[in-house]
Amino acid sequence: MVKNNKIHAFSLIELLVVITIIALLLAIIVPSLKKAKEQAQNAICKSNMHQWGLIFQMYTESNNGKFHRGWDNTKGLDYLRRGLWLHALRPYYTDNDDVRTCPSAVRLDDSVADASGSITGGSIFAWGRRTDWVSNAGDPFNYGSYGLNGYVCSAEDISSPDMPNENEYWRRITVSGSFSLSNIPILLDSAYWKSYVESTNPPPPEYDYLHYNPGQVHSNYMACHVINRHSGRINAVFFDLSVDSIGLKSLWNLKWSPVWQPPPVRPTWPNWMIGYPE
């Protein structure tokens, strides 16, 4: 007797049901995976900041409580480079290049460059290619995604009209006065390697403003840090060596320098910042 072998296949309705179920599962799983990835990147960034706190602590303990020298172009290029935080702190992180970069920020080798040939970063971009006075083409320390609060430096050359006044510098990690050390930033997530934030600096009008407008760095240093790197926040290490996430709108409340005063009027937030936390 010959058996009647039938080939069983999915009907169109059954196939559509399976596709719908898979789509629903992906809609549930993918956002969870993305959130988990962002949380992991944020945790690594905070770990980097903890390491920087220890690095600055070791440096200042070895230098009578003083921070590194900072900008000083009076004695030549090599002297200048040695005084900048990227180079002055080298002995404490020379075997760990990744500690300069948040894992949420992509290292850029070539992108929008300013007149000096350097690249300005952004929320998801590291700054890089410091091939001018900061670094050189073969220097492994010519990229990163963290920026120094320039007011911490101990002996910058203030002869240039573009530099802060002498009374604006902290100079030492131990400070006197009625200051909350947990509110004075040392190093922060940044689109540029260094900043001199002023209370008059407005919020940047566009998302990743400096990355697409690199020539505006020196006219609005606050824009270096107003970047959406961690869900409307950035990470920073402070004078008490604590690490915290700061809402972008709260950056104007930090004590950037000894003479810093928050703006008397609350900034007007651009549309891209309106939904971010205070």
Model's pTM, two decimal places? 0.85
Task: Name the nearest CA neighbour of 190 among 135, 146, 125.
Answer: 146
pLDDT for the residue 111: 52
Mean predicted confidence (pLDDT) in 248-266: 94
Task: Name the nearest CA neighbour of 225 among 246, 239, 253, 240.
Answer: 246
In the numeric block, which tokens belong to residue 118? Answer: 């350097």
Task: Name the nearest CA neighbour of 70 among 202, 205, 226, 194.
Answer: 194
Domain assignments of the chain as residue spans, ordered by start: 14-273
Question: Quick check: 197 and 152 in contact, CB under 8 A?
Answer: no
pLDDT for the residue 173: 95
Give 18-55 pLDDT, tens digit per residue. Answer: 787 787 777 777 666 677 778 889 999 999 999 999 99
| Residue 201 banded pLDDT, cuts 50, 70, 90 | very high
Give 125-179 pLDDT, tens digit per residue. Answer: 998 865 455 555 556 557 899 999 999 999 999 888 889 999 999 999 998 888 8
Q: Give DSSP secondary structure letters for 38-63.
A: HHHHHHHHHHHHHHHHHHHHHHHHTT
